[in-house]
């Protein structure tokens, strides 16, 4: 079986999108676009280790680490001043692995399907030096002439090139080295300069390149609803002696502590159970038994981080979490925004996808008697 590698080019600044971050790190369907693009290739590697190399822009290291956390990829390579230079650096990073074929794909094409990927690989297996997915032009095309007039361009035999563009690794690596001084728009153009035989395969309309802000909305519409799951979580801890409690990841001063095997953070425990419920993975006690001394006094963010990692391993995206804290004291309002930010940080999602609420029981029950705190949570995950 030929050894396959994938090179994801994510070195651009994404300025045309007009967003706060380079577009490849903006959220699409609840996760960074770069992460979604990388995950599209995960199923290719059932019989070998991940062979995906990401190329990023200068100064994007922290953004890339956050976006790709938990995927087990090699460290990203920093690209050059042009796409061509970035691709070459990525190819050179793959050289030690000795792949037979390489697929070069734009990070801004997150909706690539397995069918297109397979068709590109099959063309290489048939003996082509390269393979290029193409889509026939369907719109009326006009060209602006030097005098300002617009002339009609016949659309017959006109096609739009997409990625991934696949190549015999040794040949495209040699082409990049031999034609480094040439300025080309994509890797197929470079391959053709080197005399490589490139086969065309059918692309897909939904394999769009997300370039402008409005493209994010279009990409979201292509994603559809998917398999959306919702589950709840509930937790209770009673008060004990102490001068603070842990609540939704924050250390909150209080007249008492909370009793528990771990740090007794009812908010994070409830969210953890909700996430585990979404993927059918039991409850927090199964993963972190209270009889296990390893978890005595443990920080509950570790439990939530574990649950989020399990969701990602199953290909899930955390769309939203909501937690309600039930207590008379302490007051949650002054800490609400910090709690939202902390939960979002642990889950690696946007704070707008986190809700923290609080209520009392009007003096009724154990919470009303200030004997403890309860929390109930709900989570929504798209698989």
**Alpha-carbon span 365 to 86, nearest angstrom:** 63
Long-range contacts of 177-181 (CB under 8 A, 24+ apart): 177/88, 180/84, 180/88
pLDDT of res. 194: 95
**Residue 227 contacts residue 265 (beta carbons within 8 Å):** no
pLDDT of res. 55: 97
pTM for the model? 0.64
**Residue 110 contacts residue 33 (beta carbons within 8 Å):** yes
Give me the residue label for tokens 């159970």. 273
**Residue 104 contacts residue 7 (beta carbons within 8 Å):** yes
pLDDT of res. 4: 92
pLDDT of res. 19: 62
HEC profile of the chain: CCCEEEEEEECCCCHHHCCCCCHHHCEECCEEHHHHHHHCCHHHHCCCCCCEEEEECCCCHHHHHHHCCCCCCCCCEECCCCHHHHHHHHHHHHHHHCCCEEEEEECCCCCCCHHHHHHHHHHHHCCCCEEEEEEECCCCEEEECCCCCEEEECCCCCEEECCCEEEEHHHHHHHHHHCCCCCCCCHHHHHHHCCCCEEEEECCCCCCCCCCHHHHHHHHHHHCCCCEEEEEEEEEEEEECCCEEEECCEEEECCCEECCCCCCCHHHHHHHHHHHHHCCCCCHHHHCCCCCHHHCCCCCHHHHHHHHHHHHHCCCEEEEEEEEEECCCCCCHHHHHHHHHHHHHHHCCCHHHEEEEEECCCCCHHHHCCCEEEEEEEEEEEC
Taking alpha carbons only, the member of 56, 116, 113 closest to residue 80 is 56
183: left (phi over 0), alpha (psi -120 to 50) or beta: beta
pLDDT of res. 183: 86
Give me the residue label for tokens 């997409």. 162
Taking alpha carbons only, the member of 193, 21, 47 closest to residue 108 is 21
**Alpha-carbon span 62 to 47, nearest angstrom:** 30
**Residue 97 contacts residue 5 (beta carbons within 8 Å):** yes
**Residue 380 contacts residue 319 (beta carbons within 8 Å):** yes
Domains and CATH numbers, the chain: 4-223 (3.90.550.10), 228-382 (3.30.1330.50)
List the structure tokens of 116: 């297109």
List the structure tokens of 131: 């393979």
299: left (phi over 0), alpha (psi -120 to 50) or beta: beta
**Alpha-carbon span 34 to 76, nearest angstrom:** 12
Task: Provide block-wise average pLDDT over 10 residues at a time, the chain (383 residues).
Answer: 89 68 88 92 64 94 92 92 95 92 96 93 96 91 89 87 97 95 90 96 94 87 79 97 96 95 96 97 94 94 94 84 97 95 92 95 95 97 85
């Amino acid at each position: 079986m030929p050894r396959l590698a994938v090179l994801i080019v994510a070195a651009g600044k994404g300025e045309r999108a007009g967003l706060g971050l380079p577009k490849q790190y903006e959220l699409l369907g609840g996760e960074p676009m770069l992460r979604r693009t990388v995950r599209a290739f995960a199923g290719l590697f059932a019989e070998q280790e991940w062979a995906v190399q990401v190329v990023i822009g200068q100064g994007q290291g922290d953004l890339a680490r956050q976006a790709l956390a938990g995927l087990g990829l090699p460290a990203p390579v920093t690209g050059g001043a042009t796409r061509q230079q970035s691709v070459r650096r990525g190819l050179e990073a793959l050289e030690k692995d000795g792949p037979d074929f390489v697929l070069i794909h734009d990070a801004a094409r997150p909706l690539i399907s397995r069918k297109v990927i397979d068709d590109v690989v099959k063309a290489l297996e048939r003996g082509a030096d390269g393979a290029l997915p193409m889509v026939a032009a369907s719109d009326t095309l006009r060209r602006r002439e030097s005098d300002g007039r617009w002339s009609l361009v016949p659309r017959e035999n006109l096609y739009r090139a997409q990625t991934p563009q696949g190549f015999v690794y040794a040949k495209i690596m040699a082409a990049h080295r031999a034609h480094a001084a040439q300025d080309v728009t994509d890797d197929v153009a470079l391959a053709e300069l080197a005399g490589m035989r490139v086969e065309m395969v059918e692309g897909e309309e939904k394999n769009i390149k997300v370039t402008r802000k409005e493209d994010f909305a279009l990409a979201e519409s292509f994603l559809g609803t998917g398999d959306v799951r919702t589950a709840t979580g509930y937790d209770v801890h009673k008060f004990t002696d102490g001068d603070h409690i842990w609540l939704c990841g924050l250390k909150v001063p209080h007249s008492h502590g909370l009793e528990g095997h771990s740090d007794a953070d009812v908010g994070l425990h409830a969210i953890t159970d909700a996430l585990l419920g979404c993927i059918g993975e039991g409850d927090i006690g199964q993963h972190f038994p209270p009889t296990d001394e390893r978890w005595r006094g443990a920080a509950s963010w570790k439990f939530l981080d574990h649950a989020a990692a399990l969701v990602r391993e199953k290909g899930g995206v955390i769309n939203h979490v909501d937690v309600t804290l039930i207590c008379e004291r302490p007051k949650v309002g002054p800490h609400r925004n910090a709690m939202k930010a902390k939960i979002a940080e642990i889950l690696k999602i946007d704070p707008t996808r986190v809700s923290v609420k609080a209520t009392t029981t009007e003096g009724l029950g154990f919470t009303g008697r200030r004997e403890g705190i309860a929390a109930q949570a709900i989570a929504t995950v798209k698989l």
